[in-house]
Amino acid sequence: MEFITLNNGVSIPRLGMGTWYLGEKLSVREEEIEALQRGIDCGMTLIDTAEMYGNGLSEQLVGQAVKGYRREDLFLVSKVLPQNAGESRIRRSLNHTLRMIRTDYLDLYLLHWRGSIPLAETVRCMEELVKEGKIRAWGVSNFDTDDMEELFQVSGGENCAVNQILYHLGSRGIEYSLKPWMDAHGVVLMAYCPLAQAGSLQRELLMHPVLNKIAGAHHITVIQLLLAFVLHKENVTAIPRSGNAAHVQANAEAMKVRLSEREWMEIDHAFPAPEYKCCLDIV
């Protein structure tokens, strides 16, 4: 597995697993646990969850899946809801998350999206949690360029290590201003929904002749090519979600995909990045 070094020296895997919607159906719980464990065994030791996902059920699923693995070999991430990201609630939220995941610290704790609590208060809380050893690093999610600029004006805001945002071949708007800003300021991009996560857009991508031609030439699936596109970018880690062990293993193999510069140019031509500022896509 390849790693990226965060701005505080912590190493984060380039490829991990998301858990949105996982853990909510008892009928497939064992299958989902198997999928997460397969991913860990394949080197995808980064697991992302959130207190919002299934009202804690996804965090609980992660806790069951990682039981038996050495904690130091894992990179566990969760997210706090905006209304809980202040002095009066953040410790209660974090402690509940830690109980659900069955750990005594998180490797990364994210503000899920902006709310009414001042950024200065949230940053102060995050910095305190780092000092207390409850989290190793902190970051944000769904922050656009102006949000990041405002965050970095806050005392301690420059310690934001990660911004988790939607990013895939069919949604490249962040490449115009947000990603360049993050690269310049040492903030890692954590891409959620890197496979366009089902729906009509994903079907359009899966049927595209250019993607099928290139995928066929490398004996991979278009899904693996979509993931390889995200991983080809510098300063990016990706967290595709799947509750199927075979699909998770296929995702892990996308790390090995190597395309020629000409093939990347073909993909860029078929799916060009916008030449103007776009609104941040959020799912």
Instruction: Calculate the CA 259 to chain-centre distance.
Output: 23
Is 276 exposed, middle or buried, given 0-12, 13-18 or 19+ CB atoms closer than 10 A?
exposed
- Of 225, 171, 221, which is closest to residue 193 (Cα–Cα)? 171
Catalytic residue among 53, 109, 167, 192: 53
| CA atoms 98, 101, 102, 105: torsion sign | negative
Within 13 Å and on the Cβ side, how many CA atoms surround 179? Answer: 22
Beta bridge partners of residue 171, listed in sequence order: 168
To the query of whether residue 21 is one of the catalytic residues in this protein, the response is no
Sequence-distant (≥ 6) Cβ neighbours of residue 30 within 8 angstroms = none
**CB of 218 within 8 A of CB of 257?**
yes
The catalytic site residues sit at 53
